[in-house]
């Protein structure tokens, strides 16, 4: 079943969602591509950031991921864009645990798609 949820761009400095963007097929396909092309784990042990942006991407439908790093159903992902480290995305394996992966796509392309200037 398809669900209609908005992408949320959260600014940790302001401690609020600063923009919502309607999910569309192009963005959904891009996110699914990130998930399907996971090739390693994000090396930083403390992924939480208090600067930059965190973007929540709800998927149109749940996808099942089975690879050497992840074996779960994915409904949404979180993209972290810290000011001082490399961007990465986080997937919850279940309600209490998550795993982070390097973000290898273009922040510029994503900024364009979201019509929001990401740093």
CA dihedral 62, 66, 69, 71 (to 10 degrees): 60
In 3D space, the residue among 115, 119, 85 whose CA is nearest the CA of residue 7 turns out to be 115
Q: What is residue 13's DSSP assignment?
A: T
- Per the prediction, the chain carries an average pLDDT of 89
Residue 93 scores a pLDDT above 60? yes
| Alpha-carbon distance values, 16 to 11, 103, 119 (Å) | 6, 23, 17
The kind and range of the H/E element at 114 are helix 107-114
Predicted local confidence at residue 43, as pLDDT: 80
Its sign, for the CA torsion 119, 78, 45, 107, is: negative
Q: What percent of the chain has pLDDT over 90?
A: 61
Cβ(21)–Cβ(79) under 8 Å?
A: no
| Alpha-carbon distance values, 48 to 30, 53, 85, 93 (Å) | 23, 11, 11, 17
| 34-84 pLDDT, tens digit each | 998 898 898 876 666 788 999 999 999 999 988 888 889 999 999 999 988
Question: Model confidence at 85, in pLDDT bands (50, 70, 90)?
Answer: confident
Whole-structure pTM value? 0.90
76 half-sphere exposure, CB direction, 13 A CA radius: 14
């Amino acid at each position: 079943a398809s669900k209609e949820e908005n992408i949320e761009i959260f600014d940790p400095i302001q401690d609020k969602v600063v923009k919502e963007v309607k999910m569309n097929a192009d963005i959904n396909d891009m996110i699914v591509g990130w998930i399907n092309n996971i090739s390693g784990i994000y090396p930083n042990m403390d992924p939480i950031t208090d600067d930059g942006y965190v973007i929540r991407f709800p998927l149109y439908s749940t996808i099942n991921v089975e690879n050497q790093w992840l074996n779960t159903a994915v409904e949404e992902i979180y993209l972290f864009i810290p000011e001082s480290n490399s961007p990465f995305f986080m997937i919850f394996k279940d309600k209490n645990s998550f795993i982070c992966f390097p973000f290898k796509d273009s922040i510029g392309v994503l900024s364009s798609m979201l019509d929001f200037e990401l740093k």
